[in-house]
Amino acid sequence: MSTKTVEIHEVTIPIPDAVKASVSHKILHVQGPLGKTRKTFKKIPVELQVEGKNVILKSVGIRKRDYAIFKTAESIINTLITGVQTGYTFKMKIVYAHFPITVKVKDGNIHVENFQGERAARVSKIFGDTKVVPKGDDVIITGPVLTDVSQTAGSLQQNTKVKNKDHRVFLDGLYLFEKLDKIEK
């Protein structure tokens, strides 16, 4: 009979000098030069603590599933730290064949006007502290939280999808063409 060694996975994630982190009630608060964000780990089965300039993350179990959850939590923490340091930028291209599309930002929403000649504007929500700047035929979406930036870009692209027509012919819409791990001015 052989004995199997039990491995509890643990990692120490260093916090850069410009970033502050704290944990309270399984919620990780991260603050940096570009803003602050938080992520709740209440439903993610990992142990989390901040000691000095390090975040210590431990897995709860020893199964493959527990290791996968542990690595996902590690990735989330690294994404938060990168976001408050350098931010995220998504660039979208405005594409139209006949009716010129205009994009405006009003009251926390993105208004896509004259889409395929429609009279009513198509409205998409801006999530979190994300900033949207229309520049010519491009729309630049920036922010410190990756999930908010990507959700804003995704909902904008989905909102300008052509329905009930051949999508090979009717290519109008806003399409993502570049992702950057920094905020461009």
Domain 10-85 bears CATH identifier 3.90.930.12: yes
Distance (Å, whole) CA 148 – CA 127: 5
Supply the pLDDT for residue 6.
62
pLDDT 10s digits, 74-123: 999 999 999 999 999 999 999 999 899 999 999 999 999 999 999 999 99
Identical fold for domains 10-85 and 88-180, yes or no, is yes
139, β-bridge pairs: 92, 134
In terms of CATH, what superfamily is 88-180?
Answer: Ribosomal protein L6 (3.90.930.12)
pLDDT 10s digits, 151-176: 999 999 999 998 898 888 888 999 99
Supply the pLDDT for residue 1.
57
- Overall pTM surpassing 0.85 (yes/no): yes
Domain coordinates in residue numbering, the chain? 10-85, 88-180
Give the Cβ contact number of residue 52 at 10 Å.
Answer: 8
